[in-house]
Amino acid sequence: MIFNLDIYDKRGTYHNRPPAVSFDVKELVRNHISSMPPQESHYSRSTSSKLYLSSELCVERMYDLFKKIHHYIKCSCSLYRDIFRSEFKLRFGPPRPDSCSYCDEIYIHLVATETDDEQKRISAQSTLHHRKAETAYEVLHEDVVMSKSNTTYVVLCTDMQQVLFCPTLHHSPMFYQSQFSAYNQCVHNMGTVKPYMFVWNESVAKCGSSEIPSCILKYIELHFEPLKVGEIRKLVVWSDRCIAQNNNWWCIAL
């Protein structure tokens, strides 16, 4: 018996009618999704490529915006959602889970290792790293207790809060426009348990090694009198190790 190898199954194929959804409609959906300005993670941008859309958006709202522009186009919300999920690596809302890059690196090596000895070595590094973090928190707790009982022992915790985009409006044209970045530097006095916020936008200044020490210096000038003769006051400042903002010579020279 001889078989014809050129014969193949043609079920489900057709040439007498166009596809249910044209390629032009799909391209309009792609262009509309791409027109939304994404945001990078504030802390993990060097280790993560994830992009985030405004927290005011969702797939259904994006589809409503699409229909307002292309009301004559026949496109369902399910099609819009399928293109968004399959072709775009976007998420909604602010990037909240900002993890330690060193912890992520250790976890990746631990998952990829194939030998027991290498796994034990990486686990030991992870344990040592977490012990250092726990030790730092214990020292911070001791400083907080000291600052509450001794007014000459001042402990400040400072941190750059998440970048906010302004103005915060909900009408549809705002989703297609770039907004101003607003910065908020928090200085928290652990002795008095009172925070103080320094807020500015990108048209005033950036958020680098000059601006952050300026906020700390301004807080000190506003809340503390100059030392008198024979008076001693100790200042302890706690912050993260962000090189561009805190962990630099400008802040140390303060």
In a domain, 112, yes or no: yes
CB distance 157 to 141 below 8 Å: no
User: Same domain, yes or no, for 68 and 134?
Assistant: no
- When divided into structural domains, the chain yields a total of 3
Verify that 207 and 233 share a domain, yes or no: yes
Q: Are residues 117 and 85 part of one domain?
A: no
Instruction: Kindly give the confidence (pLDDT) of every residue in the chain, 254 residues in length, as a single tens digit, with 9 standing for 90 and above.
Output: 555 555 666 676 666 666 667 788 889 999 999 888 777 665 555 556 677 887 778 899 999 999 998 888 888 899 999 999 988 888 887 655 556 777 778 877 877 888 888 888 888 888 898 888 889 889 999 999 999 999 899 999 998 887 887 777 666 777 777 778 889 999 999 999 999 999 998 888 888 888 888 999 999 999 998 888 888 999 999 988 777 788 778 777 76
Kindly state whether residue 86 falls inside one of the protein's structural domains: yes
Give the C-alpha separation, 142 to 136, whole Å: 10
Q: Are residues 48 and 78 in the same domain?
A: yes
Same domain? For 129 and 177 the reply is no
Which among 53, 74, 92 is the end of a domain? 92
11 occurs within a structural domain: no
Final residue of a domain: which of 44, 66, 92? 92
Look up the pTM and report it: 0.56
> Which whole-number Å values give the CA distances from 56 to 10, 62, 82, 197, 200, in the listed order?
47, 10, 20, 25, 23
Is residue 137 domain-shared with residue 161, that is, in the same domain?
no
Amino acid at 19: P
Name residue, tokens 């590094």. Answer: 125
Domain boundaries, position 28: 23-92
C-beta separation of 159 from 187 below 8 A:
no
Do residues 186 and 215 both lie within one domain?
yes
Tell me, yes or no, whether 1 lies in a domain.
no
Question: Beta-carbon neighbour count of residue 175 at 10 Å?
Answer: 18
CB 113 within 8 A of CB 62: no
Q: Kindly state whether residues 141 and 156 are assigned to the same domain.
A: no
Q: How many CB atoms lie within 10 A of CB 91?
A: 13
Same domain, 84 and 112: no
Same-domain check for residues 48 and 142: no
**Pairing between strand 180-189 and 51-53?**
unpaired
User: Does 86 share its domain with 38?
Assistant: yes
Helix (H) / strand (E) element for 252: namely helix 249-252
Residue at 4 is within a domain? no
Q: Which residues contact 125 (CB under 8 A, 6 or more apart)?
A: 106
201, part of any domain: yes
Domain assignment of residue 17, yes or no? no
Are 156 and 194 part of one and the same domain? Answer: yes
Q: Does some domain include residue 7?
A: no
Encoding tokens for residue 99?
A: 């993890």
